[in-house]
Amino acid sequence: MLILSSRAQLWHPRTHVNYELKDDVAVVRLNDPTSKVNTLSKQMEAEITQVMNEVWGNAQVKSAVVISTKPGCFVAGADINMIKACKSAEEVTSLSQEGQKMFEKIEKSPIPVVAAINGSCLGGGLELAIACQYRLATKSKKTVLGTPEVLLGLLPGAGGTQRLPKMVGLPTAFDMMLTGRNIRADKAKKMGLLHQIIDPLGPGLKSPEERTMEYLEEVAVGVAKDLAAKKVTVDKKKGLIQKLQDVVMGFPFVRKQIYNTVTKKVMKQTKGLYPAPLKIIECVQSGVEKGSSTGYQVESENFGKLGMTAESRALIGLYQGQVACKKNNFGTPERELKTLAILGAGLMGAGIAQVTVDKGVATILKDTTLEGLARGQQQVYKGLNDKVKKRGITSFERDATLSFLTGQLDYSGFQKADMVIEAVFEDLAIKHQVLKEVEAVTPAHCIFASNTSALPIRDIAAVSKRPEKVIGMHYFSPVDKMQLLEIITTDKTSKDTTASAVALGLRQGKIIIVVGDGPGFYTTRCLAPMLAEAVRLLQEGVGPKMLDSLTTSIGFPVGMATLADEVGIDVAAHVAEDLGKAFGQRFGGGNVELLKTMVQKGFKGRKSGKGCFLYGAKSKDKQVNPGAEEILKTFKLTAPPAVSGNEDVQYRLICRFVNEAVLCLQEGILPDPIQGDIGAVFGLGFPPCFGGPFRFVDTFGADRLLQKMKRYEEFYGNHFTPCQLLQDHARDPSKRFHK
């Protein structure tokens, strides 16, 4: 019986981790067969522990290598669903403790353990790697190291907050854990995170990817043997600067100063809306000042607390939503897009060109004037050249990329275009004109996409001979920085047209929401009532600076007055007027004439040097435009004191946004709440700590929101009338947008 049970244990099938002996080196291979990436799931953790125990129990083994068999991924992090499934902070804390214990055993391993990294090594993956005695990684573009937990409202909970400061020093460790940024292999080596890097290999007798993985393993096995034979040590050579830094960090008052500075910086940037960064500082401080056993305890407790916060749930929701919005749900396009033509070399047109040429798509950039074209081409060049300066690409790659771009003033070559995106002036007559011109010169399969931000696509398509090929592709400015792409389909747009537009957007690296047609679609439509409310607030005497501070303090990345300046007062006026006509009273509040007067005076926002604020001077403090203040006086309204406190001001803005978003879902403009949340956060900067308007309703409570709106409705009328869907949710608390 005894024999049977031990045999049963021996033959228990392992699916995620196995190991093989290469001479006296145990090569431990990680591979989650159920996913494209490895995550530290319960199963993975259990098998790592099991395998490592076997390795340690084997007297033949003198050293070990931990490697993934997945190309492009070492370990991408902890399994988020494992954390999401927890019901209490204690449960989350115990997850952290298990991780801590496992990695501590590896750290104290009697034989050297080498982490061989190719591809993403993030979060828990990095914590696993830094628990090993030696780390080497490929210099592949896919290899990135980092601790992105903070971006999910969490912290590195498996010893990361304790080991990183020792490894890379206090300032760098804070930088890594508080920004969550990805670090490339060569940078990681310089920082002291890696001991050795390996260049990826080209073609040989096997595919480059396969052979590079093998090579990584060969080199790692060699290093492991040398470590066991003490021919190599795990100590990294420290430069003078690093040594100096170590000395300086030895003084408690210096460290204290750092904690204070970092805390202040965090408070300034997060406005105290995100708890994770502060908890990270606390963990590091506890570990450094009070020793690692306290440090580990604080780390796991804080991890547990964070795991239960609304902020973390919101950020995790956004992360998973973003993953969902990086898929093409419309199938594979019938044709591969080889040539894209863009009409208009303005900020948007050139921005679209920039994110297209570097994907190897032949791109025609057409403008009507030589000056406009030159400006646009320069923008593309500058965008790429900035990457050269940051050593992201070589000057040769820049030139080769630019060779895909053709600048021109006429329609030559359009007979080859598979898709045309127009980014011309927002005027229906002009859009009709270019659509007809384009259809006259392009092949029948060519898709016509409009980068309009508010004009209904069906109106543009009205003059088309091929309405099934017309679609909206609403990019956000600056195109190379803003991740969102809003795709708008009409009743007539074919599925293949949508599939092609999504495919292009994905190639351009965009997060994509696909919404129905209507004035302002989804994003612009939600923004408009909030902007109207902002104008109302300005009229009621809330100054531009106060408006900015009230909006940034609830988590908007850019203040509302500054946002208006960035978008352009003229554009805002245009949109407000158009959408006002389309939706009537509900979009009222602020007086459009105020915006129009500003435009007349030349206060068009940042682009004209003056808007709500003055631009041009390099002073740190933004100055309010006195001219704008004059205009505000002439449009002055009295603020009803009952609903004009700071908090009410903030809720008035949020309510109008959220109500319109929910209405979009009710009317079918939005297919689902996930895309609604993603669009609002990534396109409009809706506070990420709320996770988007729909998650906000879930968390805040639809009934509470309804009460607030009813109160505002008393003063302002139907601007604040809750839509039916919101009322339904308020009536039935079991109704939630997110499960």
Partner 1 sequence: VKHTHTYTQTNIYIHTQSGIQWAHFSPVFQNRFKSPLRIKKTLSKTGVKNIVLVDGVRTPFLQSGTTYADLMPHDLARTALQGLLNRTGIPKDAVDYIIYGTVIQEVKTSNVAREAALGAGFSDRIPAHTVTMACISSNQAMTTAVGMIAAGQCDAVVAGGVEFMSDVPIRHSRKMRKTMLSLNKAKTLGARLALLGSIRPAHLAPELPAVAEFSTEETMGHSADRLAAAFGVSRREQDEYALRSHSLAKRAQDEGLLSDVVGFKVPGKDIVSKDNGIRPSSMEQMAKLKPAFVKPHGTVTAANSSYLTDGASAVLIMSEEKALALGYKPKAYLRDFVYVSQDPKDQLLLGPSYATPKVLERSGLKLADIDVFEFHEAFAGQILSNLKAMDSDWFAKTYMGRTSKVGSPPLDKFNLWGGSLSLGHPFGATGCRLVTTVAHRLKKEGGQYGLVAACAAGGQGHAMVIEAYPQ
Interface residues toward partner 1, by CB under 8 A: 22, 196, 198-199, 201-208, 211, 214-215, 219, 222-223, 394, 396
Q: 194 burial class (0-12, 13-18, 19+ CB within 10 angstroms)?
A: buried
486 is catalytic: yes
Q: How far is the CB of 237 from partner 1 (least distance, A)?
A: 12
Residue placing its CB nearer to partner 1 in the complex, 21 or 247: 21
CA angle 212, 215, 218 (to 5 degrees): 155
Dihedral (Cα; 531, 536, 539, 541), 10-degree rounding: -100
For partner 1, give the closer residue by CB, 142 or 211. Answer: 211
Q: What's the one-letter identity of residue 700?
A: F
Non-local CB neighbours of 287 within 8 Å, separated by 6+ positions: 161, 162, 165, 294, 295, 296, 298, 299
Distance of CA 400 to the CA centre of its chain: 28
Least separation, in Å, of the C-beta of 126 and partner 1? 23
Would you mind telling me the total number of residues written for the chain in this entry? 739
Which phi and psi angles does 20 have, rounded to 5°?
-140, 145
Cβ-based nearer residue to partner 1, 211 or 335: 211
Q: Which CB, 231 or 735, lies closer to partner 1?
A: 231
Q: How would you class 702 by CB atoms within 10 Å of its CB: exposed for 0-12, middle for 13-18, buried for 19 or more? A: buried
Q: Smaller CB distance to partner 1: residue 115 or 170?
A: 115
Cβ proximity to partner 1, 212 vs 302, nearer residue: 212
Tell me the residue type at 330.
F
Distance between CA atoms of 384 and 405, rounded to whole angstroms?
Answer: 12
Cβ 225 to partner 1 shortest distance, Å: 12
Q: Which residue has the tokens 């959408």?
A: 579
CB of 214 or CB of 334, closer to partner 1: 214
Q: Output 202 or 616, the one with its CB closest to partner 1.
A: 202
Q: Which residues on neighbouring strands pair with residue 449, listed in sequence order?
A: 421, 471
Q: What is the dihedral of CA 284, 287, 288, 291, to 10 degrees?
A: 180
Residue with tokens 């971006």: 151
Which residue in the list 45, 282, 486, 533 is annotated as catalytic? 486
Distance CA 523, CA 501 (A): 18
- Per DSSP bridges, beta strands 113-117 and 134-138 are parallel
- Burial code (b: 16+ CB inside 10 Å, e: under 16) for 612-639 equals bbbbeeeeeebeebeebeebbeebeeeb
Other Cβ atoms less than 10 A from the Cβ of 122: the count is 26
Give the integer Cα–Cα distance in Å for 596 and 614.
18
Label residue 171 exposed, middle or buried (CB < 10 Å: 0-12, 13-18, 19+).
middle
Calpha distance 335→444 (Å, rounded): 12
Residue 201: CB minimum distance to partner 1, A: 4
Tokens of 164: 């990183």
State the nearest-atom distance from the C-beta of 221 to partner 1, in Å: 11
Min CB(322)–partner 1 separation in Å: 32
Minimum separation from the CB atom of position 118 to partner 1 (A): 14
- Contact residues for 176 (Cβ-Cβ < 8 A; gap 6+): 146, 147, 164, 168, 183
Give the Cα separation of 471 and 467 in Å (integer).
8
Cβ proximity to partner 1, 199 vs 289, nearer residue: 199
Nearer to partner 1, 397 or 459 (CB): 397
Rounded to whole angstroms, how far apart are CA atoms 415 and 398? 27
Q: How far is the CB of 19 from partner 1 (least distance, A)?
A: 15
In this structure, the number of other CB atoms found within 10 A of the CB of residue 603 comes to: 23
Tell me how far, at minimum, the Cβ of 163 lies from partner 1, in Å: 25
- Give dist(CA 102, CA 51) in Å, integer: 12
By annotation, the residues acting in catalysis are: 486
